[in-house]
Structure formats: C-alpha cells, structure tokens
Amino acid sequence: MNKIVTEQPKEYDQSLIIAEVGLNHNGNYELARESVIAAAKAGADAVKFQNFLTEDFLSDKSILHTYKDGDKEITEPLFDICKRSEFKVEWLPDLIKLCDELGVVFLSTPTSKSGVDDLISHGVKYIKNGSDYLSHIPLLKYMASTDATIIISTGMAYQEEIDDAVNAILSIQPNKSKLVILHCTSSYPTSPENVNLKKIQTLQDRYQVSIGFSDHTEGWESAVQAVTLGAKVVEKHFTLDKNLPGPDHWFSSDYKEFKELVEQIRLAESRMGNSVLEPANSEMQVRDQWRLGLVWDRDVKKGSDISAQD
C-alpha cells in the first residue's frame, strides 16, 4: 500500500481523505488558512491547493466561463477567474506549518517545473497532477524525478493516455509505491450515470498501484461506494461557504457536508472488517450458548467404549 495511505495513524485500514480547497481561497491568504483549519476539523487527512500560474496554461484571454453564483449565472473571462485565484508561493511556509500542527498532509497541484520546484524546496512530499495535465509527459517525468509521491487524476482520459502517463512516471521512478492513480469524471457536478465506479477495479488490475477517487458528485454516497470498491484515496472539493464568489464554491462540500462524508466513509470502513474467516468478537458468547455440541446421556466410565447412544 502506498505511503500516503499508511503513514497516517488510523484505527482501521482507512483511506486518505483529501479536502480539495483548490481555487476556493479566492486569492486570499486568510481564506486559505481558515479553509485548512476547517477541513482538518471536519476530519480531512490532507488539504490540497493548486499552485499554478495562469499564463502556464491559458493565453487566450477571450475564452469565457459560466458558473453558478447563488441563484444566478455569471459569465466572465476564464483568464481573469484563474488570475485572481492564484496561490501565492509566499503562503507555502505558513500553510505547510499549519498543516503540520493540525496533523494533516499538505499537497498541491503545480502546472510547471518551477511550480514543482516551489513545492519540493518547501519540503512537500506529495504532488498532485490534474486531469487537464495528464498528457503533459515532460512535467510528469519532472515530478517523478523529485522522489515525491505523485498522484494523478484521470478525468477525460482514454486508456492509452493513462498508459502513457503511468509509463512516463515509472520510467523515471519505478517504485510503484510512489504513484497513486485517481479515477475521476471531469464534470461538475457529476451525475450518477457518469460516475462509473467500476473503473476503480479496472485501474487496480491494470496498473497494480494504489487507486483512489476524485469525487465531483453531490453528497457522500459515491465516495463511500468507491472506498468499498478499493479506493485508498478520496478527494472532494471543499469550501467554507457555498455562497462565496468564485467558480467552484457552489458545487464544493461545506464543513457540514465534508464532515458527514468523512463520518460515512469511516463507518463504511469499520463495517468492512479484516476478511478473516472467523467469528466476530460479538458472536463468541452467542456461539458458546447456541452452537451444537456433544452431551452425555448417561454416566460413562473412563476408558469405556462409547457410541452415538451414549
């Protein structure tokens, strides 16, 4: 099992639950800090940001994006949305320290080699590659060269594209314990018929690494199902308030919803047990009372031959 899963002290064989803050800090350090605190309080094992530069992936400033804001829709240039939501590299020391104090893992999604360097130079051990960057083979290889654990999302991907990404990473870092693959559907929110959780087993069988689930559905049900199907990592968007301005708040889980997600996953994990074919502890007294056994119908002397009639 991957280190990112097993390094957390846990009661059961538990999945690692990531609160994806992403853009939901709105370019504000205090909002980022409060998001970390709230996510940890809700039970998250890790908190993820995105340390991108808009110019790394977007040059056409005329592209528009429409998103929900309360009861209305807002349309504005995608460049402007991303630019004002950039994560500031100077936040890294304080947010990493805060995560350490709260006992949660800090991780982030970079979009360039310099972004990777920023994370590694601050001691970040886990790097996430987004679905949109799955085909960026040079960046994947650079991530793999750092010795960090790499988590890749597979939204929008064909099998051949996942093969290429995995092979690129393993060609640099052949240790499979350093790779986690997340099943993901890149639609927000994802409708039930498009979740396709059976992909989790397909990914496990094909790549033989830790598999997780980047959940864009509403509610906690899909995440729980994913865990029962073998997901070792669950990622879910997190916001302090669904009514905050910005493109991702409306479909993200707030504190109450994320806390319930964690509780439901942990409850499901406790039900799964250890797969050993033996009675449960709660059954032992019942077993002693009710399991059929042999009793004597008459006194029998030691050394006597016995029969079923005895």
pLDDT(250) > 60:
yes
Domain-wise residue ranges, the chain: 12-278
Judged by average pLDDT, the poorest of 4-8, 106-110, 169-173, 193-197 is 4-8
Pick the CATH number of 12-278 from 3.40.50.720, 3.20.20.70, 3.40.50.150, 3.30.230.70: 3.20.20.70
pLDDT of 10: 43
Q: What is the mean pLDDT of residues 122-128?
A: 97
Q: Is the peptide bond before 189 cis (omega within 30 degrees of 0)?
A: yes
Distance CA 65, CA 71 (A): 17
Does residue 17 register a pLDDT over 80? yes
> Average pLDDT over the chain, rounded to whole?
92
Give the model's confidence band at 121: pLDDT under 50 very low, under 70 low, under 90 confident, else very high: very high
- Integer-rounded Cα radius of gyration of the chain: 25
Q: What is the mean pLDDT of residues 17-45?
A: 97
Residue 185 has a pLDDT of 97
Residue 50: both structure tokens together: 């995105």
Q: How far apart are CA 290 and CA 64, in angstroms?
A: 70
Q: Which positions ≥6 away from 68 have C-beta within 8 Å?
A: 74, 250, 251
Average pLDDT over residues 248-255: 95
- Its pTM stands at 0.89
Average pLDDT over residues 90-116: 98
